[in-house]
Amino acid sequence: MKLLVCGGAGFIGSNFVRQRVMEHGDEIVVLDKLTYAGRRENLAGLPHDFHHGAIEDPAAVAAAIEGVDAVVNFAAETHVDRSIAEPDAFVQTHAIGTWVLLEAAKDRGLRYLQVSTDEVYGSIEEGSFTEDSPLRPSSPYSATKTGADLLVQSYAHTYGMETVICRGSNNYGTHQYPEKLIPLMILNAMHGDPLPVYGDGMQVRNWIHATDFAAAIGHVLEHGVAGEVYNAGGPDECPNLEVIERIIELTGADRSLIEYVEDRPGHDRRYSLSSDKVRALGWEPRVRFAQGLEQTVAWYRDNSAWWSPIRSGDYREYYARQYGRALGA
Ligand code: NAD
Ligand code: TYD
């Protein structure tokens, strides 16, 4: 297949491109705006045709989409804390960008996969969300992602477009920008910086390794029924504090680095996905959290060339704004 992968220079997008090139021999075109989170280095060594542009720009989309068999849309603003501080780009990319991409795919009769999140369902104290659970997003991030999902479904319903949606739980793995819990805690622990725990730290996330989510997306792209939604959750759940304690152990950091800070406004308590529907397509997660976390810590330990430019650049300003203190040297 020849795939247009929007947002392919980001964390999960680049893991997906790696898998499709190495394991499926696909031809890849990447369209990416290269925001703070998008990096060409993430695609190093992988054959692909790269277009630098935004999904909300019809000319950039038209140039990239020519000759492809399907569109996979990862392009998004992805950090909840940033969406609370500055929601503008979230509305622009998720609403306008998704609409522009859908129009281009519809005009060319292309299959379209929207990469989405468990956060569209909101928080769940017990049990797991299925694809039929009500949509109750809580943050500007999840609300705009929900809007994009609804737009995608309207194109299937109204125009008979061949769309599928794949909703993942919290991802971790290599090449994740260190604003998210796991890479932030790994790098802070390695540098002896405080480990900022929001609220009581007992919020629970359902962790999926990025290679497992990438494989689920590939399965849904190839075998998913048009118009349908598929959840892909990881095999393990873990409270944040336990994730941080495991990272402390794996990095050999001092437990006294843990620092309780003010909670995130509107913080979702727990996410959990039932993945029975995508499992019925033949997918299952392969990486258990304990093993995946150990590999992830090792990757960050061995790849300072990847994170050094981030940790010494604009990220420092973001960190100081978000946490009210400077990052150590
Ligand atoms: P990321 O922030 O690492 O990467 C996003 C990529 O999209 C970057 O390369 C960025 O440059 C690009 N981008 C942003 N706005 C763009 C625009 N307007 N036009 C073109 N490119 C643009 O994100 P990620 O964690 O890899 O997430 C990828 C997708 O997976 C997102 O749709 C996200 O909602 C979804 N998702 C993420 C998680 C997670 O835990 N990270 C979980 C479930 C679903
Ligand atoms: P995050 O990685 O931002 O993903 P999401 O909010 O999309 O689930 O956060 C994961 C969990 O970790 C969430 O409950 C918030 C918490 N968290 C902290 O306690 N401290 C931090 O510095 C960060 C970034 C997150």
Q: For the purposes of burial, counting CB atoms within 10 Å of the CB of 270, is it exposed (0-12), middle (13-18) or buried (19 or more)?
A: middle
118 is known as an active-site residue: yes
- pLDDT at res. 103: 98
Tokens 């379209």 locate to 112
Question: How much distance in Å is there from the Cα of 249 to the middle of ligand 2?
Answer: 19
The secondary structure of residue 7, as a DSSP letter, is T
- pLDDT at res. 328: 86
User: Could you tell me the pTM of the whole model?
Assistant: 0.98
pLDDT digits (tens, 9 = 90+) for 38-72: 999 999 999 999 999 999 999 999 999 999 999 99
Does 313 have pLDDT greater than 90?
A: no
Question: How much distance in Å is there from the Cα of 181 to the middle of ligand 2?
Answer: 5
Name all domains of the chain by residue range, CATH numbers in brackets: 2-171+207-232 (3.40.50.720), 177-205+236-263+289-318 (3.90.25.10)
Got the DSSP string for 248-273? Answer: HHHHT--GGGEEEEPPPTT---B--B
- The residue whose CA is least distant from atom 15 of ligand 1 is 76
The atom number, within ligand 2, closest to the CA of 199 reads 19
User: Please, which residues have CB within 8 angstroms of residue 45's CB and are 6 or more apart in sequence?
Assistant: none
